[in-house]
Amino acid sequence: MNQGLDFLTILRRHFPIFISAFYLALFALAISLYLLLELYLPPQADFGFYMVMTNMGMSIYLCLANFLVIRGRPWALWLIVAAMVFCILVIVGHWGRRAPDLLYSIGLLLPLSTLLTLNSKRYRAMLAAMVEVRGQRAAWRKRYK
């Protein structure tokens, strides 16, 4: 096992970039879903129930995608990118309707900053480290099975 890839070294080096990308994506999804539900649900509908259920579903989706990234599956990054593209399309498609422009601006800034974080050198290094750890786990299982 590579000595540079022990758990505490990976955690100390890559956790801040991972958690910042996760929270940026979570807040971007929350704002875009709020704007989407604000525009399309009738006012007498149970807005709170739909808001909670939709946010819970998207949070589970985002958690599963990030869990796959942690487990060393680099293709799972495209699941997060697809969610951020969805957020951008919702914000741009509904710009200037019933919500204030500041909310639309923040809603556009969050997915773009998430995509910038996902494209950073440290996040790519984290993905490479996770893929290498996955390979080491597979080799260990094969050796001791």
Going from the C-alpha of 22 to that of each of 10, 26, 46, the distances in angstroms are 17, 6, 29
Burial of residue 109 (CB within 10 Å: 0-12, 13-18, 19+) is middle
How many separate domains does the chain show? 1
| Mean pLDDT, all residues of the chain | 87
Residue 63 domain-assigned?
A: yes
The pTM of the full predicted model, rounded to 2 decimals, is 0.86
Closest-CA residue to 92 (of 116, 79, 75, 109): 109
Output phi, psi for 58, to 5 deg: -70, -30
Band of the pLDDT at 2, cuts 50, 70, 90? low
CA dihedral sign, ordered 96, 99, 105, 108: negative
Q: What is the mean pLDDT of residues 120-135?
A: 91
Residue 10 domain-assigned?
A: no
Taking the C-alpha atoms of residue 79 and residue 25, their distance in angstroms, rounded to an integer, is 11
For the chain, percent of residues with pLDDT exceeding 70 = 92
Residue 11 domain-assigned?
A: no
